[in-house]
């Protein structure tokens, strides 16, 4: 917002109007997409994934992930690994 000379409130309003979702929700969604990718393709711990995706703590990451996805990050990883092994 500062870089384009807008107040943060006005920028957030414009963002929501254009994108159909609030700025914070959009950012969290992008962080969770990256986290799911890391859970599926690496053996990084939830703590490391939380740090790499910008969550303030592993517990906050786990809480947000579980609320959004309906399963814990660990369960998501196990599910994805079993799906991959079923394909191969």
Contact 8, 16 (CB under 8 A): no
**Residue indicated by tokens 């690496």:** 42
Please state, in angstroms and as integers, the Cα–Cα distance from residue 57 to each residue in 23, 62, 67, following that order.
20, 9, 15
Write down the pTM of the prediction: 0.85
Q: At residue 54, does pLDDT exceed 80?
A: yes
Q: At residue 71, does pLDDT exceed 90?
A: yes
Predicted confidence at residue 83, as pLDDT, reads 85
């Amino acid at each position: 917002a500062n870089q384009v000379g807008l107040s943060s409130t006005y920028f957030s309003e414009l963002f929501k109007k254009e994108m159909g979702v609030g700025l914070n929700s959009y950012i969290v969604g992008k962080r969770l997409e990256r986290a799911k990718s890391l859970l599926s393709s690496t053996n990084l711990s939830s703590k490391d994934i939380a740090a790499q995706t910008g969550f303030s703590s592993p517990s906050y990451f786990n809480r947000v992930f579980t609320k959004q996805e309906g399963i814990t990050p660990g369960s998501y990883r196990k599910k994805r690994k079993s799906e991959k092994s079923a394909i191969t």
